[in-house]
Structure 1
Amino acid sequence: MDQGVFYDTLRQGLWVAVITSVPILSVALVAGLVVGLFQALTSIQEMTLTFVPKLGAIVIVYWMSMGFMTQTLVSFFQDTLVPLMIGG
C-alpha cells in the first residue's frame, strides 16, 4: 500500500470519527453548561445532578442519531476500506 493511500484513508477515517461524534459531544457540552448554570444560580452542588441529565441527554441523542452514525460508518467501510482490502 502506498503511503499516500494510507494517509488519505487515515484522514478519511478520522473525519468520519469526528462527524459521528459531533452530535453526542455537542449535546454533552450544552447539557453540561445548562446544568452548571443551574447549579451556579441555585447553589446546589450535588454530583448526581451533573451526571444524570447529561447521561440522559446523551442517550436520547445517541438513539436519535444512531441511523446517521451507522449509515456513515457503513458507507465509509463499503466505499473506502472494502475496495482497499479487495484490491490490495
Structure 2
Amino acid sequence: MTEAAIFDALRQAIWIAIQMSAPLLIVALIAGVVIGLLQALTSVQEMTLTFVPKVGAMLAVFWVSMSFMTSTLITFFHAVILPQIAGQ
C-alpha cells in the first residue's frame, strides 16, 4: 500500500465524516439560533432552556438519519477499506 492510497482513503474518510455530521450540526445551529432569538425577545436567560431543546432536536435528527449514516459507512468500508486490506 502506497502513501498515496493511504492519503486518498483518509481524504475520503474525512469527507464522509463531514457528510455524516452535517445534519446534526445544522440542526444544532438552527435550534441554537431560534432559541437564542426567543430568549432575546422574552428576556428569559435560563441555561436549561437552550440545552434541552437542542439535545432533543439533535436526538430526533440522529434517529432519522441513522440509516443514511450506516449505509454511508458500510459503502465506504466495502468500496475503499476492504480492497486495500485485500491488496487490490
Q: TM-score, normalised by structure 2?
A: 0.97
Query: Alignment partner of 2:45: what SS?
Result: coil
- Residue in 2 that maps onto 1:21: 21
Displacement over 4 Å in runs of 4+: none
Q: TM-score, normalised by structure 1?
A: 0.97
- Residue in 2 that maps onto 1:39: 39
Q: CA deviation at 1:69?
A: 0.4
How many residue pairs were aligned?
88
Unaligned runs of 5+ in 1: none
What's the C-alpha RMSD, in Å, of the aligned pairs?
Answer: 0.9
- Residue in 2 that maps onto 1:87: 87
Identical counterparts, % of pairs = 55
Q: CA deviation at 1:3?
A: 1.0
- Residue in 2 that maps onto 1:55: 55
- Per-residue CA deviation, residues 14-66 of structure 1 (Å, 9 max, x unaligned), is 00000000000000000000000000110000000000000000000000000
Q: CA deviation at 1:86?
A: 1.1
Unaligned runs of 5+ in 2: none
Letter in 1 for 2:10: L
